[in-house]
Amino acid sequence: MNFLAATSSFATTTTVPTVAINLGNTLSKPNQSIVVILLLTLLSVAPSLLIMMTSFVRIIIVLSITKNALGLSTVPPSQVLAGLALFLTLFIMAPTFTQINNVAVTPYLNGKISAVTAYNDAQGPLKTWMLKETRTSELALFTQVTKQSPADPTKVSMTALIPAFVLSEIKSAFIIGFVVYIPFMIVDLVVASILMSMGMMMIPPSLISLPFKLLLFVLVDGWTLVVHGLLVSFR
């Protein structure tokens, strides 16, 4: 009897601990494990997001065209151009990233907004920047295909905005690349004409024109001009 009474008393006075997991849908600080999972997921898709939703595409294409226009196949290395494009992208996107952090990331980590609200708030600054760089024709193409006709352009879905933005960036990059390519093409034509007039048709024109193109590029501080043109091309 005493054993049963003690057992009953222990059962009534002992509380069973409970485990609560915050998935980010309540207005409280998210569980640290959930934050780690979100960070790992973001890191796995970060390269795609960086390429498709920022200024990286335009910058890397223009830098690559400049390298090809110079006639240099291995200099500067592709890693150097990619690194330069990455840091230029961070420089250009810094105000947008700061705004996203202020309106979405920080409030979510402090438990002031839910994960869904943070996701929707983060789209606002990014959409505003992408729409400024997206041409109307490209955007109209994808909105017509997806049968979207929002009164406010900021209401366009990301599935339609991202490909329209990428197409616009590629077109802008090719226009800038064409302007960069013209001076080098003129140098090649001049050198080729001089060699033909001198009867030196067996000498490759690129062998003679390369030093002159490098000299011209250095004298006008070419890389600085290209980077400056890229920076001012973003509205």
Pick the more confident residue, 173 or 35: 173
Neighbours of 195 (CB within 10 A): 18
Is 93 inside a domain boundary?
yes
Reply yes or no on whether the pLDDT at 66 is more than 80.
yes
Q: Can you tell me the distance from the alpha carbon of 6 to that of 12, in angstroms, rounded to the nearest whole number?
A: 10
Task: Give yes or no for a contact between 162 and 183, defined as CB atoms under 8 angstroms apart.
Answer: no
pLDDT at residue 59, rounded to an integer: 93
Task: Give yes or no for a contact between 213 and 70, defined as CB atoms under 8 angstroms apart.
Answer: yes
Domain, as residue range, for 86: 29-233
Q: What is the mean pLDDT of residues 47-55?
A: 81
Q: What is the mean pLDDT of residues 74-102?
A: 90
Q: What is the mean pLDDT of residues 32-52?
A: 69
Confidence of residue 7 (pLDDT cuts 50, 70, 90): very low
Is 18 inside a domain boundary?
no
pLDDT at residue 11, rounded to an integer: 46
DSSP for 84-106 reads: HHHHHHHHHHHHHHHHHIIIIIH
Read off the tokens for 9. 């008393």
Is 6 inside a domain boundary?
no
Q: What is the mean pLDDT of residues 87-99?
A: 91
pLDDT at residue 44, rounded to an integer: 65
Which of 187, 168, 164, 178 is closest to 229 using CA atoms?
A: 178
Radius of gyration, CA atoms only, the chain = 28
Q: Can you tell me the distance from the alpha carbon of 137 to that of 18, in angstroms, rounded to the nearest whole number?
A: 56
Is 94 inside a domain boundary?
yes
Reply yes or no on whether the pLDDT at 208 is more than 90.
no
Is 24 inside a domain boundary?
no
Q: Can you tell me the distance from the alpha carbon of 58 to that of 6, in angstroms, rounded to the nearest whole number?
A: 76
Is 214 inside a domain boundary?
yes
Reply yes or no on whether the pLDDT at 139 is more than 50.
yes
pLDDT at residue 118, rounded to an integer: 81
pLDDT at residue 78, rounded to an integer: 87
Is 156 inside a domain boundary?
yes
**pTM beyond 0.85:** no
Count structural domains, the chain: 1
In the chain, what percentage of residues exceed pLDDT 70? 80
pLDDT at residue 92, rounded to an integer: 92
DSSP 24: S
Is 14 inside a domain boundary?
no
pLDDT at residue 156, rounded to an integer: 83
DSSP for 162-219 reads: HHHHHHHHHHHHHHHHHHHHHHHHHHHHHHHHHHHHTT-TTS-HHHHHHHHHHHHHHH
